[in-house]
Structures are given as C-alpha cells and as structure tokens.
Amino acid sequence: MKIQDSVALVTGANRGLGLAFAKALLAGGARKVYAAARDPASVRLAGVQPIQLDVTKPAEIDRAARELGDVSLLVNNAGVLRGSGFLGANGVEALRAELDTNFFGPLLLSRAFASILAKNGGGAIVNVLSVLSWVSFPTASTYSASKAAAWSLSNGLRLELSGQGTQVVAVHVGYMDTDMARNVSAPKATPDDVVRQTLAALEAGKPEVLADEASRRVKVGLGADPGVYLAPPAVPAPA
C-alpha cells in the first residue's frame, strides 16, 4: 500500500516506536494519523489526532472502530514486558498482562477494523513483534510466549484477510533504543530506522521485516540443527 494519502491508527503512539511511526507517517504524506494512547494528553506531536485507547479494553476498541471509519492502516505497536519466567512468583500474572496487550490487543483491533480496511480498499495491518517471537530467555519467557502468539496471529490474519486485499506485515526486531530496553547495554536499533524499514516493506508489498542483525541471525537459525530456539539466544537477556 502507499503511505501517501493513507489514514493510519497507531497504538502506543505517545512515545518510542509508536511516536516514530506517527512522525514518519506524517512525513510520508499520510492524510491523517490517529495517535492512540491510554492518556491522549500524553500525545504531544503536532499534526496527529490524539485518541484515547487502552488496547486491553474491548469496549474502547469497539468505540474506536465506530468512530474511525476512514482508517486504511492499522499499526499494532502497543506492547508491555513484565520481565518474568513461567515459573516466577508472578509468572501467571505477567503472562496474562502480556497476552492482554501483546496478543489480544492486536487480535481485537484487527477484528474490529477488518471490515473498515476492506471498505477502504484493503489497506494494511502492521504488527510489531520481536526477535523473542522465536527464542526465549528464562527471565522473559512469558513475554516470548505473547510475541510468539502474535507472530502466529500475524500469519493467520495474512491468510484470512488476503481475499479482501489487506496486507499484513510482521516486524521483528531485537533491542531498540526505547524505554523498554533502557537497562540493556547491547547494541540497539533506532526507532526511526525500524519505522523506515517497515514503511518501505509496506510500500513494496512485503510480509515481513527483519529490522536488525539479531532478528536476521535468529530467523536463519530456526532452520539450523539444533534450532536456535533449543539453545540460549546469541543476544543478551533483558535486564
């Protein structure tokens, strides 16, 4: 799809990668950018339309779909990381929170906006995933599970929405220079570069973005013997 004249809804658009998406979409000629956040007052980027939206609340998602009938690009960016393993003291609570935001949020938004995208020519959905969609750390295995589920969601949506011409792009990246990775000393991608690659993939009709060396290396390692997912990942664990 073309960014020029598109109408985008970006979740988690008040900071980090979401803010970078909003800026780049405006610069790329989007006709309108809805910048969604739990607190719309935290959206301070000129030129966007702030939208109050908590992706864990189905009623707010349904309201957004009723009110934003001109959307042609949905960017499922909002995400959380609780930093827990499955057997951690708060492992179950962490997983539920991460699934609510990282999986059920994109699922419910995609369901709510699928018919809107069809009405507006097909459009596209971008799901922000992670290199941890494919590998896991003991200190973040619940997060990995939520992102693995979101990867499966992306692949399923791509098939289910192909008939209406909706493009689905899955974005995999390791560490980015955002608040989520502020305590990590490993090399980090910049949000601006991840967005640049993602919008280029959208316009080229590509289904997947491997936005850094870590994601490219791990993707290749999925087919190795033994698979990269059977051994400790060659990227530092989240703090």
197 vs 212: CA distance, rounded Å: 10
Catalytic residue among 23, 32, 34, 143: 143
User: What's the rounded mean pLDDT across residues 81-87?
Assistant: 96
Task: Look up 188 and say whether it is catalytic.
Answer: no
Percent of the chain scoring above 70 in pLDDT: 93
Angstrom CA distances, 220 to 210, 213, 223, 228, stand at 11, 11, 6, 9
Angstrom CA distances, 158 to 48, 113, 155, 164, 194, stand at 28, 14, 5, 10, 21
Backbone dihedral angles phi then psi of residue 82, each to the nearest 5 degrees: -95, -10
Inform me whether the pLDDT recorded for 237 exceeds 60: no
User: What's the rounded mean pLDDT across residues 31-50?
Assistant: 98
Task: Look up 175 and say whether it is catalytic.
Answer: no
At 236, the pLDDT band (50, 70, 90 cuts) reads low
Find, among 230, 239, 215, the residue nearest to 133 by Cα: 215
Angstrom CA distances, 228 to 132, 145, 150, 209, 234, stand at 11, 16, 19, 19, 9
Catalytic residue among 147, 175, 188, 219: 147
pTM above 0.85, yes or no: yes
Helices (H), the chain: 16-27, 58-67, 91-99, 105-119, 141-161, 191-204, 213-221
User: What's the rounded mean pLDDT across residues 74-94?
Assistant: 97
Q: pLDDT tens across 100-149, in order?
A: 999 999 999 999 999 999 999 999 999 999 999 999 989 999 999 999 99
User: What's the rounded mean pLDDT across residues 93-100?
Assistant: 98
Contact at 8 Å (CB) between 178 and 191? yes
Mean pLDDT of the chain: 94
Domains of the chain, each with CATH number or no CATH: 7-230 (3.40.50.720)
Inform me whether the pLDDT recorded for 85 exceeds 90: yes
Strand, coil or helix: 176: strand
pLDDT at 235: 58
> How do strand 73-76 and strand 49-52 relate by DSSP bridges?
unpaired
User: What's the rounded mean pLDDT across residues 165-189?
Assistant: 80
Contact at 8 Å (CB) between 40 and 50? yes
Contact at 8 Å (CB) between 190 and 167? no
User: What's the rounded mean pLDDT across residues 189-214?
Assistant: 96
User: What's the rounded mean pLDDT across residues 194-219?
Assistant: 96
pLDDT at 239: 41
pLDDT at 71: 98
At 232, the pLDDT band (50, 70, 90 cuts) reads low
Inform me whether the pLDDT recorded for 207 exceeds 60: yes
pLDDT at 188: 80
54 vs 86: CA distance, rounded Å: 25
Tokens coding 146: 């939520």
Of residues 187 and 200, the one with the higher pLDDT is 200
